[in-house]
Amino acid sequence: MGPWAVVVHNDDINTFDFVIRCLREIARLDSPVAVQKTMEIHQEGASAVAHSHREHAELICERLQSRGLTATCEPA
């Protein structure tokens, strides 16, 4: 049950501001890190936005998905 990563993938639907707000509210990232991760998602296609134990990572992933973001949970 090692660490798990929550990965958010780029899409053509959600705005930068919306993604930043979701990362701040759900993944509890501070504003500069949320902006950095959002740029990484846009430029690289995906970014690991959180690391935790499996159950907590899955919870974060589900909450991001419920907001319409494309997110996956995978072993880190």
pLDDT recorded at residue 35: 98
User: Could you give the dihedral angle defined by the CA atoms of residues 23, 25, 27 and 32, in that order, rounded to the nearest 10 degrees?
Assistant: 50
Give pLDDT tens digits along the chain (76 positions): 569 999 999 999 999 999 999 999 999 999 999 999 999 999 999 999 999 999 999 999 999 999 999 999 999 9
The residue type at 15: T
Tell me how many domains the chain contains: 1
Could you list the residue range(s) of the whole structural domain that residue 61 is in? 4-75
pLDDT recorded at residue 2: 63
Which of these, 21, 48, 51, 26, lies nearest to 37 by C-alpha position? 48
| CATH number reported for the structural domain that contains residue 45 in this entry | 3.30.1390.10
pLDDT recorded at residue 25: 98
pTM here is 0.94
